[in-house]
Amino acid sequence: MQPAHPFYTAVVAPPRLFRVIVPVTDIDAAAGWYGAALRMAGSRVPPNRHYFDCGGTILALRDITLDPSVAVFRPNPDHVYLSVDDVEAAHERMRLAGCPELSAIEVQPWGERSFYGRDPDGNPLCVVQAGTEFTAH
């Protein structure tokens, strides 16, 4: 048996996820869509971002059309998961906001009560009922 690596033996606080970037093609339209879907205004961070504080983790919309270093738009490859107190109300807000590919609310095999959809730029989203989040703990 090999001894533990010295980097893993010290007692340290785990890292805290503080920001998730969601690429968009129109910052004003995306901020309006997410504002309606999340029922919060968020705040503009010039020149090309809009931040939503989701319980201490920032959901950051980033308009890649305003960034000359990005040549091609690509939506996030996998879902951003949001936990809410009222999944039915969140589903209705997403429906009214015109959420593409909006699924029904279902209980997943791992116990989460959730629904899936995409934002207008094709970024995949999952909204989960608080208290049913699967965290492997």
Written as one string, the DSSP assignment of 75-120 is: --SSPEEEEES-HHHHHHHHHHTT-TTPPPPEE-TTS-EEEEEE-T
CA–CA gap between residue 113 and residue 119 (Å, rounded)? 20
Identify the pLDDT of residue 134.
Answer: 95
Tell me the domain boundaries of the chain. 17-129
Read off the pLDDT of residues 27-56 as tens digits, 9 standing for 90 and up: 999 999 999 999 999 999 999 999 999 999
Q: How far is CA 90 from the centre of its chain?
A: 14
Q: How many Cα atoms are found within 13 Å in the side-chain-facing hemisphere of 60?
A: 15
Provide the pLDDT confidence category of residue 106 given band limits of 50, 70 and 90: very high
CA angle 39, 88, 75 (to 5 degrees): 60
Q: Which range in 2-6, 34-38, 67-71 is most confidently predicted, on average pLDDT?
A: 34-38
Stated pTM of the model: 0.88
Is domain 17-129 given the CATH code 2.130.10.10 in the classification?
A: no
Provide the pLDDT confidence category of residue 6 given band limits of 50, 70 and 90: low
